[in-house]
């Protein structure tokens, strides 16, 4: 999942897509109140987390439940619960991203934790890491609880709908687990040989977002719209991951984290052994081979696929969001030259320094 959020909303007027400031504040209050009620010792961590995920670059995560709810004519109370559940999900995913990225220096992989039956907890000597595990567990449970509560109110078919939801949610979580670890992000072959599976692995880094589409469709009786909506989410995230990796390729090379943009420019392994060679290959790909345009064409191809899929569903605001996302990516394309030039200077300076006897 992108740490920047899916859309840099400061660059485009998305006012019509935002939820209201009062609703933001109400959700934030409920988020913290539930943590205070259930685990008072994690209240300050919960406050810090909700502040991190309340900025408007998370427009999709906050807005999607309302866009779908309004399109499906769901009640305001149901839409509110969908938003709250999605914010619990977002908080949970952010915590796991931090742990996987070693922000908490865990003694074991977070993927091992969430894969264990009943989320059995293992503790290390790192208190901040332990707090992250506890808060993540709480948020995951609240996320599922709010979705299941909505489905339990659907009448005589609620057991059937709950079963359908649990199957789909389990699949989404499995996709996400398989895509989250750095090892799984590394394709066994070069970018030129990427298959649909390789691309979807990028989109699956935020598969939990699809549970919002699933539960909204099931509650509203729009089951046939689950497939196009979840397909749209996959391809939005493929495009976003590819965009993020343009900004992150230099830091990723320094830390040894897999980066799709680097793979696009170089077939070499992304290890410390080939760090300088990869930097040189990226310099060549951008300034000699002029590959940046074709990379952006691939990004926009996936966003267009998302747009076509979303048009098969009943959500004009979701379609509007994707259209704005496409415009934002096109705007970035023209402004990225300055950013890349700065990265290139840093990389070339280090490359020349390391090459001196």
Domain boundaries, the chain: 13-218, 222-357
The pLDDT assigned to 298 comes to: 95
Q: How many C-beta neighbours within 10 Å does residue 57 have?
A: 17
Query: Contact 125/105 with Cβ under 8 angstroms?
Result: no
User: What is the distance between the alpha carbons of residues 299 and 340, in angstroms, rounded to a whole number?
Assistant: 17
Residue where the block lists tokens 């309004």: 70
- pLDDT digit of tens for each residue in the chain (357 aa)? 444 545 444 344 456 677 888 999 999 999 999 999 999 989 999 999 999 998 878 889 999 999 999 999 999 999 999 999 999 999 999 998 887 765 543 333 333 444 433 443 343 445 677 788 889 999 999 999 999 999 999 876 788 999 999 999 899 988 998 887 655 667 777 898 899 999 999 999 999 999 999 999 999 999 999 999 999 999 999 999 999 998 888 888 888 888 999 999 999 989 889 998 998 898 888 877 778 889 999 999 999 999 999 999 989 999 999 999 998 888 877 676 566 666 666 665 655 555 555
Tell me phi and psi for residue 102, to 5 degrees.
Answer: 70, 20
Cite the DSSP H helix spans in 14-56: 21-38, 43-52
Give all strands (DSSP E) within the chain, no chain letters. Answer: none
DSSP sequence for 155-201: -TTHHHHHHHHHHHHHHHHHHHHHHHSHHHHS-SS-GGG--HHHHHH
User: What is the distance between the alpha carbons of residues 138 and 144, in angstroms, rounded to a whole number?
Assistant: 10
User: What is the distance between the alpha carbons of residues 277 and 283, in angstroms, rounded to a whole number?
Assistant: 10
**73-88 burial: b if 16+ Cβ within 10 Å, else e:** ebeeebbbbbbbbbbb
Q: How many C-beta neighbours within 10 Å does residue 275 have?
A: 18
Of 1, 4, 175, 174, whose CA–CA distance to 97 is shortest? 1
The pLDDT assigned to 30 comes to: 97
The pLDDT assigned to 154 comes to: 84
What is this structure's pTM? 0.85
The pLDDT assigned to 283 comes to: 83
> Computed over its alpha carbons, how large is the radius of gyration of the chain?
21
User: What is the distance between the alpha carbons of residues 98 and 52, in angstroms, rounded to a whole number?
Assistant: 12
Identify the sign of the CA torsion 144, 148, 151, 157: positive
Burial of 35 (0-12, 13-18, 19+ CB in 10 A): buried
Query: Contact 135/49 with Cβ under 8 angstroms?
Result: yes
Tell me phi and psi for residue 343, to 5 degrees.
Answer: -65, -40
């Amino acid at each position: 999942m992108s740490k920047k959020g899916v859309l840099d909303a400061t660059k485009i007027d998305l006012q019509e897509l935002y939820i209201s400031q009062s609703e933001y504040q109400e959700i934030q209050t409920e988020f913290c109140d539930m943590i205070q009620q259930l685990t008072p010792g994690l209240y300050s961590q919960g406050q810090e987390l909700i502040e991190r995920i309340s900025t408007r670059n998370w427009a999709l995560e906050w807005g999607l439940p309302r866009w779908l709810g309004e399109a499906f004519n769901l009640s305001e109370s149901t839409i509110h619960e969908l938003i709250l559940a999605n914010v619990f999900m977002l908080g949970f995913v952010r915590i796991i991203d931090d742990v996987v990225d070693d922000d908490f220096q865990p003694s074991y992989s977070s993927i091992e934790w969430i894969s264990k039956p009943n989320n059995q907890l293992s503790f290390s000597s790192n208190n901040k890491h332990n707090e992250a595990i506890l808060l993540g567990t709480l948020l995951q449970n609240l996320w599922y609880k709010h979705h299941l509560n909505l489905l339990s109110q659907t009448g005589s078919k609620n057991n059937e709908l709950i079963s359908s939801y649990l199957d789909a949610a389990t699949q989404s979580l499995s996709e996400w687990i398989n895509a989250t670890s750095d090892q799984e992000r590394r394709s066994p072959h070069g970018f030129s040989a990427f298959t649909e599976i390789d691309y979807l692995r990028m989109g699956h880094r935020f598969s939990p977002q699809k549970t919002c589409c699933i539960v909204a469709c099931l509650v509203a009786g729009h089951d046939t719209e689950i497939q196009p909506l979840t397909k749209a989410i996959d391809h939005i995230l493929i495009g976003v991951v590819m965009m993020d990796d343009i900004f992150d390729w230099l830091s990723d090379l320094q830390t040894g984290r897999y980066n799709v943009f680097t793979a696009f420019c170089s077939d070499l392994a992304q290890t410390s052994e080939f760090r300088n060679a990869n930097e040189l290959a990226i310099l060549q790909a951008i300034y000699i081979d002029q590959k940046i345009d074709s990379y952006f064409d691939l990004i926009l191809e996936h966003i267009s696929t998302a747009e076509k899929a979303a048009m098969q569903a009943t959500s004009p605001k979701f379609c509007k969001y994707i259209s704005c996302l496409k415009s934002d990516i096109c705007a970035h394309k023209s402004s990225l030259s300055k950013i890349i030039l700065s990265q290139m200077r840093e990389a070339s300076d280090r490359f020349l320094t390391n090459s001196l006897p």
